[in-house]
Amino acid sequence: MSSSEDRTLTVLAVDDSPVMQATIERALGSEYRVLVKDNALDALSLIYHEPIAVLLLDVSMPEIDGLELCRTVRNLPQFQELPIIMLTARDKAFDKVKGRMAGATEYLTKPFDAQELRQIVDRYAKA
């Protein structure tokens, strides 16, 4: 691994939509190492083995949704400071409150602008 790869920060995107996974990879792939998982269990096992700079979570997923995954991650001491950005089509004020209560750092509604996503990820990944 070269020294430039050593500095590459990793973003984990958890979304069950292949279209959204590709959108996130396109938006962030030039600056970040982007890993994608389509379910909460795979994502949970991955965060123990990879140094994740920012976690992107879709709210609406089968079995374990993004809010539940967010709460689970927040309850693990080593991940309490991990920036978690919720990506969701749910844009009501109460949905945003639920995201914050679950421990989300930011709440971005779909469809989102790629540049806006990059700016938010940059803000937390490079802090």
- Model pLDDT for residues 73-95, shown as the tens digit of each residue: 999 999 999 999 999 887 788 88
**How far, CA to CA in Å, does 63 sit from each of 22, 70, 106, 109?**
22, 14, 23, 21
Quote the mean pLDDT of the chain.
90
Q: How far is CA 1 from the centre of its chain?
A: 25
Taking only the tens place, the pLDDT of each residue in 112-122 is 899 999 999 99
Query: What SS3 class is residue 43?
Result: helix
pLDDT of res. 37: 97
User: With a threshold of 0.85, does the pTM exceed it?
Assistant: yes
Domains with residue ranges and CATH for the chain: 3-125 (3.40.50.2300)
More confident residue, 124 or 2: 124
Give the integer Cα–Cα distance in Å for 114 and 40: 23
Give the integer Cα–Cα distance in Å for 27 and 47: 21
Interacting residues of 61 by C-beta distance below 8 A, sequence separation 6+: 14, 15, 16, 38, 39, 40, 69
Taking only the tens place, the pLDDT of each residue in 12-67 is 999 999 999 999 999 999 999 999 999 999 999 999 999 999 999 999 988 899 99
Give the integer Cα–Cα distance in Å for 127 and 17: 29
**How far, CA to CA in Å, does 126 sit from each of 18, 63, 117?**
27, 32, 14
Give the integer Cα–Cα distance in Å for 42 and 62: 13
